[in-house]
Amino acid sequence: QLQLVESGGGLVQPGGSLTLSCEASGVTLDYYTTGWFRQVPGKEREGVSCTSYGGGGTYYADSVKGRFTISRNNHKNTISLQMNSLKPDDTALYYCAAAWDPYSLICTTEFKVRPYTSWGQGTQVTVSS
C-alpha cells in the first residue's frame, strides 16, 4: 500500500522560498500521477500542481504559476514542490497525493480531488512577516 509523508513546511517571510518534499513508500510511483494540494480552515482543498508519470502532463493553479515548480524523482520515489516568491495567501496545510494512472488521465487543470487515492498527512506552510 502506498504511503506518503510530507516534510519541509515552516514559517517564511513574504517573498521567501520553501521546498516541500514527499517521500513515497510501499510501492514505486511508476504509472502514478502525483500532485500537491493545499487547504485552509473553512475552505475546500484546492489543487496547486500535478504531474503525470513519464511527462504525460504538468499543470499549475493560476495562483502559483511562475512561482512554484513540481518535480518527481522516480528513482528515489519522491515528489517535491519548490515554492518561490511566497505570499501570505499561500499560507495553508499542504498535502501531496498520488493516484494509479497508467493512461495519464487524472492530472488536468481541474485538479479534482476525488481521483487521488493516497494522501500524506500534510505539512504546514505559513507566510508571514
Predicted confidence at residue 57, as pLDDT, reads: 87
Strand partners, 92: 125
Please check the confidence at residue 56 and state whether its pLDDT lies above 80. no
Report residue 88 as a C-alpha cell.
Answer: 501570505
Give the span between the Cα atoms of 120 and 24, in whole angstroms. 9
Q: What is the mean pLDDT of residues 79-84?
A: 97
How does residue 55 score in pLDDT terms, banded at 50, 70 and 90? low
